[in-house]
Each structure stands twice: as structure tokens, then as C-alpha cells.
Homo-oligomer: A and B are copies of this chain.
Amino acid sequence: MAEDAIDERLLAAARTCVLAYGVRRTSLTDVARRAHVSRPTVYRRWPDVRTLVSDVLTREWKTVLTAGGRVPVTGSGRERLVAGIIAIAEGMRDNSVFRKVRDADPEHLLPYLLDRLGTGQRMAIDLARRGIADGQADGSIRPGDPARLAHVLFLAVQALVLSAMAGHDAIGREVMREELRTLADSYLRG
């Protein structure tokens, strides 16, 4: 089997384990067993199970961001960006891996909410930054540092998505879409 096919099989096995057990309770032994490879085979590719699971989560971000970026929209740069943001926000909210992490291992999210941005968050901000630059080029988005606007917008959207994933005291699913549209559109218009 080609090297990258083994990587792929391991990432898929790790994803299945995260869905079943969460982040903390996924062990390298579980992943190796499920992928029908030896533990040393895993260790030749990832230094530990945390790094492997991290890669699973980054891939999940990529999937959601790619799907959201593919939404067929026309209109101004701002309209396209707002439509993309809503699609990505709904993709995040409904993603089974993220939902499992949120429910089983909320403490895993803490550093990314309080201390530093993870790879997936930085990818999302970068995507927004490019959309903002496009919208500024066609005059549909107000002037301002695209990286700064993207960062602020990301934090606000993330907060609404996390609330919409919760139960009581939360922003409802329908409300999220509508208010996200107003929030993002009005913030970008200025």
C-alpha cells in the first residue's frame, strides 16, 4: 500500500475513534487496531495520538471551509462573502466531529477560545480576509485592514456558532442564520 494511502487510512480510523470516544479517550492503540496497522506504523507517521487527532480536526475544518467556499453565489464581494460565512457557520454547527468534541471534550476547545488560534481558525480567518479584500476591490466592503476585519468577524461568528450548538440559553438554529446575515453584512458595509 502506498504511504499516503496508509496515512489516509489512519486519519479515517482516527476520525472514527474521535466520533466514537471523543478526543481524550482516543488512543493510538485504538486507531492502529481500527486501521489494521501496527503501532510502530503509526509512530513512523505521527509522534503521538494528540498530533494525529489534531490533523483530523484540521482536515475537518478544511472540509467545512471548502464546502462553504463552494456555495454558488453571485452578487457583490460582500454578498458572496456573507453567503459563504453563513454556509460555513452552518457547516461547523452541524459537523459531527466538532459536535462530538464540544460535547465530550469541551476542555479541548478552551485554549482555542481563550489563548491562541488553532490551524483551522487561522484558515477560516484567512479565507475571510481574502473575501474582504475582494469586496473592498469592488467597493461593496468598507475600507480597513482586511486581516483585522476578518479576525473580528471570525470571533463574532464563532461565538454565535458555539451558542447555536448548545441547548438552553442558546441562540436558536434559525435565529443564527438570520442574525449572522445582519451582523456580517452590516459590519462589512460599515
- Known contacts A151-B171, A179-B152; A110 and B106 CB within 8 A of each other: yes
What 1/0 flags go to A142-182 for Cβ under 8 Å of B?
00000011011001101110110111110100010001001
Complex CA distance for A186 and B156, rounded to whole angstroms: 14
Whether a CB of chain B sits under 8 angstroms from the CB of A137 is no
Contact of A160 among B152, B179, B183, B189 (CB under 8 A): B152
User: Interface residues, chain A, CB within 8 Å of chain B?
Assistant: 102, 106-107, 109-110, 113-117, 122, 148-149, 151-152, 155-156, 158-160, 162-163, 165-169, 171, 175, 179, 182-183, 186-187, 189-190
The chain B residue with its CB closest to the CB of A158 is B159
Complex CA distance for A113 and B162, rounded to whole angstroms: 8
* Contact yes or no, A155 B160, CB < 8 A: yes
- Known contacts A110-B106, A155-B159; A115 and B187 CB within 8 A of each other: no
* Contact yes or no, A116 B186, CB < 8 A: no
* Contact yes or no, B114 A102, CB < 8 A: yes
The chain B residue with its CB closest to the CB of A145 is B175
Residues of B within 8 A of A151 (CB): 163, 171
